[in-house]
């Protein structure tokens, strides 16, 4: 399925928010992972759970593996949490996944809070050599606003 990356991320966000509304918080991370994988697959998306990502040293030596919660359409890494709130170490984790997988887009979703939390991460063209950067604060704020108020028009 060929989708614009923004539409793909919106679809994942909307599906995750629907899961948050239906199941609430308080379940184990695996419950949310299975629900999100199920609903996205049912919508016709290619979803891989517990996707291994190899980590290489600068000389190409394999030094370890990550396991990302979900890989959607081979384009977006989705990392799920069930924490009271998202923390800097969660952001560092998804940034490491994106760098190692050489992918440009990731979503960090927290189902553990009363309020639905989601953050989008993207690699910028100018940051290819220096690492990954987070999409602007404005975009993050917009995602958060839409997640909390999905039926309110802008």
- pLDDT tens by residue, 54-91: 888 889 899 889 899 999 999 999 999 999 999 999 99
Is the predicted pLDDT of residue 129 greater than 60, yes or no? no
Mean pLDDT score across all residues of the chain: 84
Give the CATH number for residue 127: 3.40.1350
Q: Answer yes or no: is 154 within a domain.
A: no
pTM: 0.77
Domain that holds residue 104: 5-148
Q: Answer yes or no: is 100 within a domain.
A: yes
Distance CA 97, CA 50 (A): 12
Q: Answer yes or no: is 79 within a domain.
A: yes
C-alpha angle with apex 135: 81 to 31, nearest 5 degrees? 15
Q: Answer yes or no: is 153 within a domain.
A: no
Q: Answer yes or no: is 35 within a domain.
A: yes
Q: How many folded domains does the chain comprise? A: 1
Q: Answer yes or no: is 142 within a domain.
A: yes
Q: Answer yes or no: is 140 within a domain.
A: yes
> Exposure of 110 by Cβ count < 10 A (0-12 exposed, 13-18 middle, 19+ buried)?
buried
Residue 123 banded pLDDT, cuts 50, 70, 90: confident
């Amino acid at each position: 399925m060929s989708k614009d990356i923004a539409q793909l991320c919106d679809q994942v966000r909307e599906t995750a928010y629907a899961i948050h509304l239906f199941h609430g918080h308080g379940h184990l991370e695996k419950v949310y992972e299975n629900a999100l994988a199920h609903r996205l697959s049912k919508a016709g998306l290619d979803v891989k759970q517990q996707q291994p990502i190899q980590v290489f040293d600068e000389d190409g030596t394999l030094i370890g593996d990550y396991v990302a919660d979900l890989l959607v359409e081979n384009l977006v890494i989705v990392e799920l949490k069930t924490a009271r709130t998202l923390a800097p170490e969660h952001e560092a984790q998804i940034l490491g996944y994106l760098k190692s997988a050489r992918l440009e887009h990731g979503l960090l979703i927290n189902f553990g809070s009363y309020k639905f939390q989601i953050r989008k991460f993207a690699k910028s063209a100018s940051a290819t050599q220096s690492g990954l950067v987070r999409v602007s604060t404005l975009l993050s704020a917009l995602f958060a606003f839409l997640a909390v108020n999905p039926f309110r028009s802008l």
